[in-house]
């Protein structure tokens, strides 16, 4: 019997002139899983086989400049909307017809942007640790971080922040994995991601989101404030919010409940 890990297949394609990498598993209604700032599709390695086993085609791309995907024009992307347009083109190129967009943190911001601009193109959206406005980093920190000399020990900071951003109830081995994944982040790409995250402002745009939205927020999340998620829910026409106790900024890795939570949502929405 094959192990769940071997069910994940990797692939490449060119979108908007950029060579992108993605992981995927399973056949069925398409799920598009988007990773957090500075990270890669590896964050979805636990979710992909689960969704495949439940009859879905789950695809997790590496955003441009992340994982095995190249940069677009050798410059990091600095707006959520630019990421969203790349993701949308990738979904079309892969033949993902009206996917369910699922994302966490920066990935969650991208999901909301996709939903705000192209709601008819989505069956549903799942948005973790993200919101309509996520200006959470001091601009001076991001400005300093544009140069390596302005952010010494970036990798150590990212490593320890991996633990600080995880919840008290997170599985210890998953926290360790989060830390080591974060340690390999590229500083320039990560700072550009956080610049995009900081500039996210979809306030007043979410009434256009006609698809159902599941918002997930971990009670121990230090990177995305609950108020941002609550305000987002208030503006969305069809949204529900699930708060996970003891979970932080990476529910799809920290929590064993995450997959069941999303599956239940999909089933209830007839997907």
Partner 1 sequence: MTDGFPSLPWAIQLQATANEDAEFAGAARWFDGSVFLRFGSAAYWMKIYGGRVIDVQAGPSPLGFTFAIGGEESVWRELLRDPRNRFLEFAAAGRLSVEGNLLEYMRITKAVIRLIEAARKIGEARP
Positions in the binding site for partner 1 (CB under 8 A): 144, 146-150, 152
Which residue number, 144 or 168, has a Cβ lying nearer to partner 1? 144
Q: What's the min distance (Å) between Cβ of 146 and partner 1? A: 7
Which residue number, 97 or 148, has a Cβ lying nearer to partner 1? 148
Q: What's the min distance (Å) between Cβ of 36 and partner 1? A: 27
Which residue number, 147 or 240, has a Cβ lying nearer to partner 1? 147
> Tokens for 75?
């410059």
Q: What's the min distance (Å) between Cβ of 191 and partner 1? A: 13
Which residue number, 150 or 246, has a Cβ lying nearer to partner 1? 150
Q: What's the min distance (Å) between Cβ of 230 and partner 1? A: 37
Q: What's the min distance (Å) between Cβ of 152 and partner 1? A: 6
Which residue number, 150 or 225, has a Cβ lying nearer to partner 1? 150
User: How far, in Å, are 10, 168, 205 from residue 160 at the CA level?
Assistant: 29, 14, 35
CA–CA separation, 86 and 66 (whole Å): 13
Which residue number, 78 or 163, has a Cβ lying nearer to partner 1? 78
Q: Is 244 helix (H, G, I), strand (E, B) or coil?
A: strand
CA–CA separation, 196 and 186 (whole Å): 15
How is the chain split among helix, strand and coil, in percent rounded to 5?
45, 20, 35
Alpha carbon distance, N-terminus to C-terminus of the chain: 28
CA–CA separation, 266 and 258 (whole Å): 12
Q: What's the min distance (Å) between Cβ of 144 and partner 1? A: 7
According to DSSP, the β-strands at 239-244 and 213-218 are parallel
CA–CA separation, 130 and 229 (whole Å): 7
Q: Which helix (H) or strand (E) holds 15?
A: strand 9-15
Q: What's the min distance (Å) between Cβ of 158 and partner 1? A: 17
Q: Is 101 helix (H, G, I), strand (E, B) or coil?
A: strand
> Tokens for 144?
């300093």
Contact between residue 183 and residue 158 where contact means Cβ atoms under 8 Å apart: yes
Which residue number, 152 or 270, has a Cβ lying nearer to partner 1? 152
Q: What's the min distance (Å) between Cβ of 148 and partner 1? A: 7
Which residue number, 187 or 248, has a Cβ lying nearer to partner 1? 187
Strand partners, 244: 218
């Amino acid at each position: 019997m094959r192990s769940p890990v071997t069910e994940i297949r990797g692939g490449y394609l060119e979108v908007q002139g950029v060579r992108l990498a993605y992981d995927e598993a399973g056949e069925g209604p398409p799920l598009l899983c988007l990773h957090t700032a500075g990270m890669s599709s590896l964050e979805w390695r636990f979710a992909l086989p689960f969704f495949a086993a439940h009859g879905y085609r789950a695809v997790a791309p590496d955003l441009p400049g992340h994982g095995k995907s190249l940069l677009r024009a050798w410059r990091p992307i600095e707006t959520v909307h630019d990421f969203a347009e790349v993701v949308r083109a990738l979904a079309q190129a892969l033949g993902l017809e009206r996917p369910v967009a699922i994302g966490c943190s920066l990935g969650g911001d991208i999901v909301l942007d996709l939903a705000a601009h192209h709601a008819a193109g989505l069956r549903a959206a799942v948005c973790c640790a993200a919101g309509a406005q996520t200006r959470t980093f001091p601009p001076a920190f991001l400005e300093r971080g544009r140069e390596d000399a302005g952010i010494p020990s970036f990798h150590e900071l990212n490593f320890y922040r991996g633990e600080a951003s995880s919840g008290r109830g997170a599985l210890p081995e998953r926290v360790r994995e989060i830390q080591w994944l974060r340690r390999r982040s590229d500083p320039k790409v990560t700072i550009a991601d956080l610049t995009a995250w900081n500039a996210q402002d979809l306030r007043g745009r979410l009434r256009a989101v006609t698809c159902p939205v599941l918002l997930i927020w971990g009670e121990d999340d230090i990177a995305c404030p609950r108020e941002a998620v609550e305000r987002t829910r208030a503006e969305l026409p069809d949204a529900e919010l699930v708060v996970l106790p003891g979970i932080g900024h990476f529910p799809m890795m920290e929590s064993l409940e995450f997959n069941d939570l999303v599956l239940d949502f999909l089933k209830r929405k007839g997907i």
